[in-house]
Amino acid sequence: MKLYTNNMLQQQMSKASGQITPNIPAKVYLDLTPDCNLYCIMCRESIENSNRMMDLKLFKRIIDETCEGVTGYSLFYTGESLLLHDFKDRLEYISKRKSPGTLLDISTNGMLLTEDISRFLIDQDIEVCISFDGSNAELFERIRRGSSFTQICRNVERIAALASHMNPFRAPGIGISIQKYNWRDLTNIIKTANNLGVRRISMWPVVNPDQCKIETTEKVMRNIADAIHYAEEKGMAVDMYPVRLKNYIWNSSEYTDIADSFVDTKCHAPFTCTAIAWDGEVNLCCNYGDTVENMSNKSFKDVWTSERYRELRRQVNDEASMPESCQNCFWVNRF
């Protein structure tokens, strides 16, 4: 029996350098707004756009208190960050304050990727991931409710062309939420993206809600593997893909039965990254982990080194007290 240590958390953290100081995480996810201009089938029941956004003073304080140690900032968490009227100003603030080599990334549904904002993101060297869950309008708009497949394809094609000079692993890419409605379409999704000029793909499984969750059958796993192979054949960078799904693990080029492997499920996320909600709530990780404390009236260091944080770090790897959100986490092979 072999020890299997690969996981998607390693993929997620691979572009951020190692932790510089124990007092600051390597990666910070910033929830600039929980609002969104779409209501995707796996995410929310209605469009939410009530002008909720992270207070600018809080935002700047977070950056000021973490910039000397953080090696990666993600400018999204639960909402569509491009809705913010001052998004450019905030991004420029991070760019000025961050340490050399610190990487910035954003995930977007693509509806607001105008030529102006696309050029701005590329000029600021932001890694962009565009959610892309179908190869045709019917499927895409069924999942990404409120979207326009035609408009998003146009936006994707434009930003891909603007970034044609970039390293594929940093160029704008697509992110596929693998779910019950689109697992048969994965290769076609990648074909469509490739025809639009995309050179990088990421994909991950939807685990909630139950009605969207995929069944981990041999046929499903073969479809995922075929999609990965197609992307590689086209010379696309595949920087995120499922590693362990139920009784299957990725073994270099295919999914094989888990029976002959001992799978490592330990989680290091609470030691190396954190997610800060728009209202100042500090969460364990990007996977909607438990809330630690609110830092509106506390320094980040006080929260990061608090007894509450230490206790939650212990719990995430303790079967007896593990938070519910950690129990089926695909990032560390628990799904």
* 285-298 pLDDT tens trace: 887 778 999 999 99
3-state secondary structure of 171: coil
CB atoms near residue 53 (< 10 Å) = 22
Distance CA 233, CA 224 (A): 14
Sheet holding 248-250, edge to edge: 244-245, 248-250, 255-257
Reported confidence tier of residue 231, pLDDT bands at 50, 70, 90: very high
Task: Write the CA distances from 104 to 29, 70, 137, 221, 310, integer angstroms.
Answer: 10, 10, 31, 32, 27
Task: Write the CA distances from 310 to 120, 282, 318, integer angstroms.
Answer: 39, 13, 13
pLDDT of residue 21: 77
User: Distance from first CA to last CA of the chain, Å, rounded?
Assistant: 20
Q: Side chain identity at 330, as an amino acid letter?
A: F
pLDDT of residue 227: 98
- Residue-wise pLDDT for 1-38, tens only, equals 789 999 998 888 877 767 777 889 999 999 999 999 99
pLDDT of residue 17: 67
Return the minimum-mean-pLDDT range out of 5-14, 95-104, 129-138, 242-251.
5-14
pLDDT of residue 282: 96
pLDDT of residue 22: 80
Task: Write the CA distances from 256 to 3, 98, 245, integer angstroms.
Answer: 14, 42, 10
Distance CA 151, CA 154 (A): 5
Distance CA 264, CA 69 (A): 28
pLDDT of residue 45: 86
pLDDT score of 196 more than 70: yes
**The residue to which tokens 């809330």 are assigned:** 291
Overall fold of domain 2-12+25-264? TIM Barrel (3.20.20)
- Residue-wise pLDDT for 43-86, tens only, equals 988 887 888 999 999 999 999 999 999 999 999 988 999 999 99
pLDDT score of 108 more than 70: yes
Distance CA 249, CA 244 (A): 4
Return the minimum-mean-pLDDT range out of 8-12, 191-195, 331-335.
8-12
> What number is the average pLDDT over the span 309-321?
94
